[in-house]
A = this chain, B = another copy of it.
C-alpha cells in the first residue's frame, strides 16, 4: 500500500518485501544508515539493497533519544564528512526515527532522511507528522524540529522479530486514532500479529487517520493537538516513574483516563473500549502514585499554553475537545481511574 502525504509531499509505503520497491525509487547522492542494533539483520539487508556504505548501529529505546545520542550521531556524520546533499536512512523504532530525524533536521542545517520504521509504534505514530526530537532529563520530547522524511518504508517483515508485547503497544496508538476519527475497525486490534494477513490494511488505516489530522492542521490550527489524546497523563506518568512504563503502556493508561474525563464532562461512555484495550495489552501494573506526585510533571507538559494544561477529551467516538480542565475534576477522575486500574 502507498499512502501519499501532501505537505511536504512524500509516500508512506506499507507492506511486505519493500526492498525492491525502495531500490526502484532509490535516491541519488551519498547515503548513511543509522539503525537500531536490535534489528541489525534487517538493517543490513536495507544497507545491501540500497548500497549504503556508512552504517552506525546503536541501542534503541529512550536512552538513544538523548543529547548524548544526538551528539554521537552528529559526530559520526561530521567525522565522515557527509555532505549536505546526502540522505540519512534510519532503520529502527520510534526512538531511532525521532533521533535520526532530528539529526537530519539539524546536521548542516538539514539533510534528507528516509525512515524504515521497525516497530508498530513507529509505523503508526512516528512515520507521519514530521515531528522529530529528543528528550531532556527534564522531560520527553522537549527538544526537536519539524522535518518530514523524504519517504517512509514500513516493511512488515521488520515487525516479525518484535517482542509480542512491543507489537501490541504500537497498536495502542492505532486504537487512539480510532477514537479520534471514529473508526471502529481500529478499536479492534485484538487478533492482529506480525503475520496476520490484515495487519498491513490495519496499519495503513491508522496511518491514514494521522495523515488526515496532520493535513487538516494546515487549515485549522489546533486539529493536530487531538493526536495528543491520552498523552498528557502518559507523559507525566513516564516522567514521574523515570520511564518505568513503555510509551504504549503509558498511553493506554492515558486513554482510559481521557475516557473517564470525557464521561465526567458529560460525554459518551468510552471507558469500556479503553478498558478492553488495557485488558488485552496487559501493561505493567499502575504504580502507587498520588495525584500530587503527578501534577508537577503535568505542568511541564509542553502542550501547556498560557500557564494551563490543555487536555484532549473524547466526548464521543470521533468527537474531541481540547481544553483546560478544573483541578477538582481532574483529581476526582484520577481517583475513579485508580479504582479501575487497581
Residues on A facing B (Cβ under 8 Å):
29, 67, 70-71, 74-75, 78-79, 81, 83-85, 102, 105-110, 131, 133, 136-139, 142-146, 299-300, 302-307
Of A78, A84, A133, the most chain B CB neighbours within 10 A belong to A78
A-B contact pairs, 17 of them (CB 8 A): A29-B306, A67-B71, A74-B136, A74-B143, A75-B136, A78-B136, A78-B139, A78-B300, A81-B299, A83-B304, A83-B305, A102-B106, A105-B145, A106-B133, A109-B133, A109-B144, A110-B145
Q: Which residues of B contact A106 (CB under 8 A)?
A: 102, 106, 133, 143-145
Report B-chain residues with C-beta under 8 Å of the C-beta of A131. Answer: 109
Copies in the complex: 2
Across-interface contacts of A304 in B (CB, < 8 A): 81, 83-84
Bound-state Cα–Cα, A300 to B78, Å: 8
Q: Are A307 and B83 in contact (CB under 8 A)?
A: yes
From A83, A300, A304, A307, residue with most partner B Cβ within 10 Å: A83
Beta-carbon contact of B306 and A85 below 8 Å = yes
> Is A84 touching B143 in the complex (CB atoms < 8 A)?
no
